[in-house]
Amino acid sequence: IPNPLSSIAGSVKMLSGIEALTDDQRALLGIVTRESERLNAIISDFLTYSRDRKFQSARIDLCQLLSDTLTLLENSQSNIEVEHSFSPSVAMAEGDGDKLRQVFWNLCSNAIRAMEGGGILAVTLDEFEGKWRIRFRDTGAGIPPQLVEKIFEPFQSGFEGGTGLGLAIVYRILQAHDAHISVRSAPGRGTEFT
């Protein structure tokens, strides 16, 4: 599927360079481009979810992984305020840094989507009962109770245009790391993933 999608995207790009296109024709080409990108994202998420779980375990600093993710996030979002508190400033663990970065990115991306009009994303890391605890709290719209029950199941997207695989991928990666994830949310009061 990715190969035909690349051909479609390349062809549409060439067509959009034609000077004689009407506004309606340009709008249609824009739709084809956006839908191709959306389909590519769905395929990428599906492949990530369905691939075998090969992990490259190494000694990693969770604070550094979180800092890198939040720096990228802050530079790509203008209406979201990011607050973070890491205590201590170094949190060493065994794990696959790339996979855990994906977990952090997926959770942050969902938080941003939940705060359409802007808001605050607070990320904390601390030690709790002898383990590292990381919390992602947003000031978004919250998640309806009926969706919270199934939130980590595949194809359960609460966002328009979402694939419903982001949190299923998060859950699978964390399971492979012997980690646990939970969610607390109420409509209109935001969401916290721990």
Residues 121/115, Cβ–Cβ less than 8 Å: yes
More confident residue, 188 or 155: 188
- Residue 159: is its pLDDT beyond 60? no
Q: How confident is the model at residue 12 (pLDDT cuts 50, 70, 90)?
A: confident
Our CA angle for 157, 37, 101, nearest 5°, is 60
Q: pTM (2 decimals)?
A: 0.72
Q: CA angle, corner 183, sides to 137 and 43, nearest 5? A: 90
CA 125 vs. chain centroid, Å, equals: 19
Please, what is the Cα angle at 144 between 139 and 146, to 5 degrees? Answer: 150
Q: Look-up: residue for tokens 């990666």?
A: 173
Placement of tokens 């721990």 in the chain = 194
DSSP string, 85-112: EESSS--EEEE-HHHHHHHHHHHHHHHH
Q: Which residue has the higher pLDDT, 185 or 152?
A: 185
pLDDT given for residue 155 in this prediction: 67
pLDDT band at 156 (very low <50, low <70, confident <90, very high): low
Burial of 138 (0-12, 13-18, 19+ CB in 10 A): buried
Q: Say how many C-beta atoms besides its own lie within 10 A of residue 72's C-beta.
A: 14
Q: pLDDT by residue (tens digit) across 96-111?
A: 998 999 899 999 988 9
Express each pLDDT in 111-152 by its tens digit.
998 898 889 999 999 999 999 999 999 999 898 888 888 888
Between the CA of residue 53 and those of 31, 58, 82, 122, what are the distances in Å?
35, 15, 31, 30
Query: What's the pLDDT score for residue 163?
Result: 60
User: Once rounded to an integer, what is the mean pLDDT over residues 80-85?
Assistant: 92
Q: Please check whether residue 116 is in contact with residue 160, taking contact to mean a CB–CB distance below 8 angstroms.
A: no
pLDDT tens digits for 19-78?
Answer: 888 888 888 888 888 888 877 777 776 666 666 566 788 999 999 999 999 988 887 767
